[in-house]
Chain A
Amino acid sequence: MATDDQQVLVTGAASAPASFRIPGNGQIQPKAVFASYDGTGAAGDFVPALKIISDGGETVGIYPTESPVVAGASADVSWFPGVKPQAAAPLLESRVGMFWRTGGQTIHTGAVTEYVFQQQQGQADPNGPLGFSLATFTITVVRNFRVYVDFLVQWQAGNYDRYIEIAQPVGFPPQDLFTWRAREAVSPDGDVQHIGAVLAGNPSAPAALTFNLFQASGSDKTATGYVLAYGWPEIAGQNGWPG
C-alpha cells in the first residue's frame, strides 16, 4: 500500500546548533527524527534538543532529551511522538549531621542541663537534618520531615542516678510531642547512655530541639556527648516537604 511517507537524509556534519530549512515546495509532518551528537570536544555536559523555528523566526517548540550527555561522550538521539516522560523518582536523599564537643561538659548535680555542642559536621548544608545556633552551638531545629537522632553520652564512671533526654518542646505534628529519656544509676552500664528518637521536622517551621542531661550524684560530673542525625524526606519534592 502506497504511503506518502518519506525519509529525508540531511547531508553533512556541523557544529551544534546545526539547522536546515524546509524546502520551499511543501511541508512535512515528521514521525521520527534522528541525529548523532559527538561531544568529544564539548565544552561541558549538554542536553541534545530539537528546536523548531517558524518561517517568521519564532520558536515553535524545543524538545530536549530527558537525560544529559556528559562532556566528551556521544549520543544517538531519536525524537518521535509517543515518548513518555519518565516518572519522577521520589527524592529520598538522606542527610547526615554530627555534633559533638571536646573535653566534655560539666553537669551540676540536681540540675537539668542542656548539652551545648562545640563542633559539628554539615554546617555548610542548609538542608541538614538538624540546625543549630552558631553562638552556642546548641541544636535548635529539626529541618527534614523525618529525622532519626542518636544521642550518646559518656559519663564519669560511678554509681549515681543520671539520665539523658531528647526533648522536642514544639512538635510537628502535635501528636509527635515526646520526650525520649534513658535513665540508669549503676556503673558500668550507666556510664555510657544511648537513646534514639524519631522526630518530625518541618523545614518551613523548624521545631526546637534540646538535648538534656541530669545527674544526682551530689557533685559535679563531666559528660561527653555526641549526636548523629539522619534526615530523610518521606515525600517527593524539594527537601521532602511539602510533597
Chain B
Amino acid sequence: MAQPLEAPMPPDLDLPDGYVVVWAAIDATSGADVAGVVVSGVSLFGRVIGLGASDTFALGAWFLVPGPEF
C-alpha cells in the first residue's frame, strides 16, 4: 500500500506558460536524483489565470515526460 505523504507548496505559485513542473525523487542528504522511481497518476488542480489568445486553457493531452525538460 502506498504511503500517503504531504508536502508544502507556496499559496500563490503561478505557473506561466513555458514553466516546467518536475516530479523528482531525490536523496535526502545530497539532493541527487535517485534512480528507479516511477511517477504516475499526476494531477494538478488549480485556478486558470492569464489566458492566452485562444481564450481557453489547453487541458488535454498533457503527458508526463521522463527526465527534466528544461
B-side contacts of A80, CB under 8 Å: 6, 8-9
The interface size bin for chain A is 35 or more
Given contacts A6-B57, A20-B65, A83-B9, contact A34 B3 (CB under 8 A): no
- The minimal Cβ–Cβ distance linking B1 to chain A, given in whole angstroms, is 8
B-side contacts of A241, CB under 8 Å: none
A-side contacts of B42, CB under 8 Å: 9-10, 18, 20, 33-36
A-side contacts of B35, CB under 8 Å: 15, 42-43
Interface residues of A in 31-85 (CB under 8 A from B): 31-55, 57, 60-69, 73-85
Interface residues of A in 189-225 (CB under 8 A from B): none
**Contacting pair B6 A50 (CB below 8 A):** no
- What is the size, in residues, of chain B's interface with A at 8 Å between Cβ atoms? 64
**Contacting pair B21 A50 (CB below 8 A):** yes
- Contacts across chains A and B counted by CB atoms under 8 Å: 332
Q: Does A17 interact with chain B (Cβ within 8 Å)?
A: yes
A-side contacts of B15, CB under 8 Å: 22, 27-30, 52
Closest to A28 in B: B46
B-side contacts of A15, CB under 8 Å: 35-39, 66-67
B-side contacts of A39, CB under 8 Å: 25, 36-37
Known: A7-B45, A24-B18. 9 other contacts (CB 8 A): A8-B62, A9-B43, A18-B67, A19-B68, A24-B17, A26-B54, A28-B48, A48-B24, A80-B8
Residue numbers of A with Cβ under 8 A of B are: 3-55, 57, 60-69, 73-85
Residue numbers of B with Cβ under 8 A of A are: 1-28, 33-54, 56-59, 61-70
Instruction: Sort A-B residue pairs by CB-CB distance and give the 9 closest, nearest first.
Output: A55-B18, A13-B40, A81-B11, A25-B52, A30-B46, A10-B42, A41-B36, A46-B34, A51-B22
| Residue contacts A-B, CB under 8 angstroms, 25 given | A4-B49, A8-B62, A10-B64, A14-B40, A15-B66, A16-B23, A16-B25, A17-B33, A19-B21, A19-B64, A19-B67, A30-B44, A32-B46, A33-B21, A39-B25, A39-B37, A49-B26, A62-B24, A63-B8, A75-B4, A76-B2, A76-B3, A80-B9, A81-B9, A81-B13
